[in-house]
Amino acid sequence: PSMLEVSDLGHTYTGQQEHTAIGGVTFDVDAGQLTCIVGPSGCGKSTLLRCIASLIRPSSGEVRMHGQPVRGVPEDLAVVFQDYGRSLFPWMSVRGNVEFPLRSENVPKEQRRERVRQTLEWVGLSGSERKYPWQLSGGMQQRVAIARALACRPALLLMDEPFASVDAQTRFDLEDLLLRVRAEQDTTILLVTHDIDESVYLGDRVLVLSRTPASIVADLPVDLGDE
Ligand code: ADP
Ligand code: ADP
């Protein structure tokens, strides 16, 4: 089976106003692929990603990883959100933030240290281990959030507009960082963006969603050749 299989996934928010955010989305992702999901603001991209991550329970359909139905947030999955400011623990240093998921997985101390060291090196944060999030710029904070996600060496990395809140230069740096890390780490990545340029620059494949309720209107391979 494919690394990730999303079958007829639908979600309707209930409450004061019912709103169907995604309707019947089906696609497969092969291991190692970087798939960008692009669509207009408010179309249901975040909802789709949150359903895949089991952060919300879809109203219909199914998500499988390695052929197994996903129930509860799987251990080999990590998520990076746009809002890095709210996702980091403010009372923990950079090292503490990146080490946190490894502690919860009971990775032995020596191995933890080595992982943290290597991951911080990947994202260009060596030397900032002892700083706290409030001492860092937005771009650096988002590096910490990405490092924390990568520390567990997730099989599947979900990213929701990860570069939307940083300045242009930082964004270029982080995009290249992502491509570099991916080459070294063999992670399957699903990245949501509203930016077509970004999706074509980063993706091996681009899924284009319609306006809400989101459904896939195009599934495009990206092959820019050897530039
Ligand atoms: P996108 O990520 O593409 O901007 P979202 O998935 O955040 O889109 O939202 C899709 C639609 O669902 C939007 O119309 C949004 O207003 C609505 N929506 C999102 N979250 C909720 C919620 N918790 N309750 C009701 N409607 C919601
Ligand atoms: P984005 O477009 O960046 O994905 P949104 O502005 O759609 O973010 O949503 C921001 C937050 O507000 C999310 O947690 C979403 O679930 C919630 N939200 C969005 N629309 C609604 C809504 N109509 N009712 C309740 N919560 C909503």
Cβ atoms within 10 Å, residue 116: 24
| The model's pTM | 0.88
DSSP single-letter state for residue 214: B
Q: Do residues 29 and 64 make contact, with C-beta atoms less than 8 angstroms apart?
A: no
Query: Which DSSP string do the residues of 7-40 spell out, in sequence order?
Result: EEEEEEE-SSS-EEEEEEEEEEE-TT-EEEEE--
Cβ of 87 less than 6 Å from ligand 2: no
Q: Do residues 149 and 79 make contact, with C-beta atoms less than 8 angstroms apart?
A: yes
Please give the ipTM for the structure prediction.
0.71
**Cα 99 to ligand 1 centroid, rounded to whole Å:** 32
Cβ of 13 less than 6 Å from ligand 1: yes
Q: Do residues 129 and 120 make contact, with C-beta atoms less than 8 angstroms apart?
A: yes
Q: Edge-to-edge strand order for the sheet containing 156-160?
A: 77-80, 156-160, 188-193, 34-38, 205-209, 216-221
How far, in Å, are 24, 68, 145, 208 from residue 39 at the CA level?
Answer: 16, 28, 24, 6
Q: In whole angstroms, give the CA distance from residue 147 to residue 133.
A: 13
**Cα 47 to ligand 2 centroid, rounded to whole Å:** 9
Cβ atoms within 10 Å, residue 169: 9
Q: Do residues 205 and 33 make contact, with C-beta atoms less than 8 angstroms apart?
A: yes
Give the residue, by CA position, lying nearest to ligand 2 atom 10.
46
Q: Do residues 130 and 93 make contact, with C-beta atoms less than 8 angstroms apart?
A: yes
pLDDT tens string, the chain, 227 residues long: the values are 899 999 999 999 998 999 999 999 999 999 999 999 999 999 999 999 999 999 999 999 999 999 999 887 788 899 999 987 778 999 999 999 999 999 988 899 999 999 999 999 988 899 999 999 999 999 999 999 999 999 989 999 999 999 998 889 989 999 998 998 888 888 999 999 999 999 999 999 999 999 989 999 999 999 766 55
Cβ of 213 less than 6 Å from ligand 1: no
Q: In whole angstroms, give the CA distance from residue 127 to residue 13.
A: 44
| Amino acid type, 139 | G
206: which strand partners?
36, 220
Cβ of 16 less than 6 Å from ligand 1: no
Could you tell me whether strands 60-65 and 68-69 are parallel, antiparallel, or unpaired per DSSP bridges? Answer: antiparallel
Q: Say if residue 25 is exposed, middle or buried (CB neighbours under 10 Å; 0-12, 13-18, 19+).
A: buried
65: which strand partners?
4, 68
Q: Do residues 124 and 144 make contact, with C-beta atoms less than 8 angstroms apart?
A: no
